[in-house]
Structure 1
Amino acid sequence: MSNPARPIASIGDLALEAFEEGSLYRGSDASFASLLGLSGLGIRYNEVPAGMSSCPFHNHHVEEEMFIILEGEGTYRFGPASYAFKAGDVLGAPAGGRETAHQIINTGSNALRYLGVSTVAATEVCEYPDSGKFLVSSRAGTERLRHIGRAGEHNLDYWDGEPGA
């Protein structure tokens, strides 16, 4: 990747993409690592309304994630436990098995705003304990392989079987 023209990104200038799925998943986000010239690190700005989550409970076998809470409060499901968090907190999600599964839920009354920072792996396996699914992905150059399934079922939708989806 070439060096960016300007190695600074402003959150206020990002073009957010809105999403909604079922009664639990809603938000807006934007990935911007490439704007900074980064290829081995992923950075995403997220806004999640009160009572919502941006993604299902999941764990990564290879990639690690860190979430920097800018505004709001919520509950961080991590493994078998849940933790309250607030603006200024930093949440960690190391690679591993179901003991590192995680999900951010906005349990506050205002919008939750946070940065998600992750390592970027060419090959990754994710598990979704609430729905029993797995996701396998691999990138080689511009080619990408992505498959979602569960035991005996293949080519499933990302939201299949998730609570609230």
Structure 2
Amino acid sequence: MERGGTVNKPFLNIAELQLESWTQGANYQSSDASFGRLLGLRNLGISYNEVPAGKSSCPFHNHHVEDELFIVLEGEGTYRYGADSHAIKAGDVLGAPAGDRSTAHQIINTGTGVLRYFGISTMAATEVCEYPDSNKFGVFSRTSGNPTDKSSLRHIAREAASLDYWDGENIGEVK
């Protein structure tokens, strides 16, 4: 059965997933696959991630809207959460609730083998993320209502570059 261009079946095997491999600089690398839509899920995202030793799959960040959950399947690493760091291993379940910078999080493979985990999240049509290490923020909006639609608004900036609300507007001359 197909719905919205995706196969809707109630199960799959992670060994059958088509992983996409990528690298960004020396610190970020992963092979992963998002597959919630393949299971017919519209409001819940899930990904399978394989991160090599010494790497992370994303910068330290927090979400204002979406909750995230990670389930470590294999390997060891470090879970940065807020101001703390925690050793993690297979079997650990990591929560990353929506919130301010105190909920910022990052998984780093500090082990010697591949770190494999599931990432599960709510899927909001609009999201704001902060990146405390680089003092950036991102605004993401999918106006179609489809959580996988990346064609809508995506803007990453620094707060220092903020404009006044009325900047560039024709506000008229007061007489």
Q: TM-score, normalised by structure 1?
A: 0.89
State the distance in 1 between where 2:121 and 2:73 align.
Answer: 17
State the distance in 2 between where 1:11 and 1:56 align.
Answer: 25
1:11 aligns to 2:41 (yes or no): no
| Post-superposition CA distance 1:40-96 (Å, at most 9, x none) | 000000000001000000000000000000000100000000000100000000000
1:29 alignment partner in structure 2: 32
* Structure 2: unaligned runs, 5 residues or longer: 163-175
2:110 alignment partner in structure 1: 107
1:148 alignment partner in structure 2: 156
Q: Cα distance, 1:10 vs. partner?
A: 1.1
Whose Rg is larger? 2
Q: TM-score, normalised by structure 2?
A: 0.84
Counting aligned pairs with the same residue, the percent is 64
Q: Cα distance, 1:107 vs. partner?
A: 0.5
Q: Cα distance, 1:116 vs. partner?
A: 0.1
State the distance in 2 between where 1:17 and 1:153 align.
Answer: 34
Q: How do residues 82-161 of structure 1 correspond to structure 2 at under 5 angstroms?
A: 82-141=85-144, 143-153=151-161
Higher RCO (C-alpha under 8 Å, 6+ residues apart): 1
Q: How do residues 13-92 of structure 1 correspond to structure 2 at under 5 angstroms?
A: 13-92=16-95
SS of the counterpart of 2:138?
Answer: strand
List, as ranges, runs of 4+ consecutive aligned residues in structure 1 with deviation greater than 2 Å.
1-6, 151-154
* Structure 1: unaligned runs, 5 residues or longer: 155-165
Count of residues paired in the alignment: 154
Q: Cα distance, 1:35 vs. partner?
A: 0.5
State the distance in 1 between where 2:24 and 2:58 align.
Answer: 10
State the distance in 1 between where 2:83 and 2:43 align.
Answer: 30
